[in-house]
Amino acid sequence: MNAVPVPRDAAPTDGLAGPGTPVVTDLDVEHLTVPLSRPWGPDVTRVHVLTTRVHASDGSTGTGFSWTPTIGAGAVLALLREDVREFAIGRPAATTWWTQAWEHLHEAGGGGVTTIALAGLDLALWDLRARAAGTSVTDLVGRRRDSQPTYGSGVNLHYPDAELLDQVRRWIGAGHTGVKIKVGRPDLREDLRRVAAVRELLGPDRALMVDANQRWDLDRATTALGALAEFDLTWVEEPLRADDTLGLVELRRRTAARIAVGENVHTWYRFRDLVAAGAADVLQPNVVRVGGITPFLRIADLVRSAGLELAPHLLPELSGQLALTLPERTWVEDVEDAGFAELGILAAPTGGRCADGEFRGGTRAGLGFEFGVAR
């Protein structure tokens, strides 16, 4: 029987600082409610960004954030201001005790609200650590690539056909070598019509992905994937509930479609179970939802060791920086008008950008997130 893998750096430690080591003295959190210039639906017209700042005993600081589009911002804010802050104070201003923090919060849930809150702390600690070293987080982790390919993405299921095609034309004009659109309308014939029109506009040389956002059950997904097969899809994202591991395994048995899942998977253990079960071809961790950079790197190691494809989900200004540390070629998702710069909450550019079909990261110190009104 094969040994069950364990997360990297998961050996238990007390997480306490040695003599002379800078320690966390405070954690500040601010809740920003940010209107979307291009709503993701009638009920999603804004997103929530919880900016975090860690203060250390040597006077250094680090900036990070937690993020959630719709649900749970108040709960994440409370966790950060109370339980996460209390646990962090007095511990090393370092990134070595993520597992202990996760174990401490586990009574409130292994993932979801707890890991989203932990991301605010983890990102701020990585930012502090990189700034202290006078380098970017990308170079601190270990830059392996100068660029990664981008695909244009949008929350566009509610768009009329003409508006959808206009969006695809903008992505083509921006140089994206791939495009992802939403599917899952009540009438499958509408999905097929829209996918056919997008494929015709893209031509045969650009990648096309579709995302059902967990809207189908197993039988409907089987029917839909069979009908969509003619369009040469790079992957079909979240055809079933992300929690339905056995359903995803059965769907892969029934169809030849490449299945992508992961944006709503919150822990290394759940990714391990999906990998072990053979439930997906592409794994898509969201850096914030899994708890930050520390667990993201562990998940990347897991996916690579299994020989599967990794495609970080959303937040290109963050996930793109980490994509540059990966040895493999991987997609960076660029959601139209949803980057922090486009939302107007950054005082200065992060140093990373999507252009001409590639994400390239600059060398600003830390993560490069400076929240505030653009100057």
Catalytic residues: 182, 313
Secondary structure (3-state) at 119: helix
d(CA 1, CA 188): 43
Angle at 350 between CA 164 and CA 36, to 5 degrees: 35
Residue 141, CA distances (Å) to 103, 135, 162, 289, 325 in order:
24, 10, 43, 20, 7
d(CA 323, CA 49): 22
Secondary structure (3-state) at 179: strand
Angle at 334 between CA 331 and CA 339, to 5 degrees: 140
d(CA 317, CA 218): 34
d(CA 78, CA 66): 12
Residue 54, CA distances (Å) to 122, 336, 364 in order:
10, 31, 19
d(CA 189, CA 192): 5
First-residue to last-residue Cα distance in the chain:
59
Q: How many helices (H) and strands (E) does the chain have?
A: 12, 13
For 183, phi and psi rounded to 5 degrees? -130, 175
Residue 95, CA distances (Å) to 54, 87, 106, 126, 220 in order:
12, 14, 18, 6, 44
Report the phi/psi class of residue 288: left, alpha or beta, with left for phi > 0 and alpha for psi in -120 to 50.
alpha
Q: At what angle do helices 188-202 and 161-173 cross, to 10 degrees?
A: 30
